[in-house]
Structure 1
Amino acid sequence: MSTDATETLDVKGENCPMPVIKTKGAFDDLDAGDTLEVVATDAGSLSDIEGWADSTDGAELLDQEEAEEDGAAVYKHYLRKTE
């Protein structure tokens, strides 16, 4: 997906629950309409961030994708602040 992110949050190397905690902190600082890209190495972040977005007013999960960087799996999450 080609998503223009307003901000990028790098949480590579962080394990549950830190990717979600740091995502919430970065998300709170966004303005309505902004998009946050979260880059993680924790496979659990796929379900964790999706669950957080589903239960958070004003958060829309646009996409999640798995990529490879330097031979390791990397998970990218795209969230839009709607309010």
Structure 2
Amino acid sequence: MLEEKQYDVILDAKEDRCPMPLLKLKMALANMAINETVCILATDSGSLRDIPHFLDLVGLPMLEQGDIDGCFYFVTSKRESKI
């Protein structure tokens, strides 16, 4: 799986249904410092649409995105944004 040491925050939303993965990401970003990174793990296919759209909307970069055995992961870094 992903190396935990790479990220400041890892969110496990694997069993959560839409919109919980996105809500967990929003809450985590609100509590993070600038330049910290977060990786969210999700299995709900709605996350494939919702999370990239949200990041684009608020101006945060998608640093990494992928699928490991049906588990989607998304990595972003908190920057000055519209959050």
Larger relative helix fraction: 2
The answer to whether 1:26 aligns with 2:28 is yes
Which ranges in structure 2 are unaligned for 5 or more consecutive residues? none
Q: Structure 2 matches for 1:8-23, cutoff 5 A?
A: 8-23=10-25
Match of 1:77 in 2: 74
- 1:47 aligned residue (42, 45, 49): 49
Rounded to whole Å, the distance in 2 between the matches of 1:20 and 1:77 is 11
Letter in 2 for 1:77: F
CA RMSD in angstroms comes to: 1.8
Cα distance in 2 for partners of 1:46, 1:30 equals 23
Moved over 6 A (4+): none
Show the counterpart of 1:35: 37
For residue 78 of structure 2, what is the amino acid of its counterpart?
A: K
Identity of aligned residues (%): 31
Task: Name the structure with the higher strand share.
Answer: 1
Instruction: Assess if the C-alpha contact under 8 Å between 1:14 and 1:40 holds in 2.
Output: yes
Letter in 2 for 1:61: M
TM-score of the superposition, structure 2-length normalised?
Answer: 0.85
Using structure 1 for the length normalisation, give the TM-score. Answer: 0.85
Q: What is the aligned residue count? A: 78
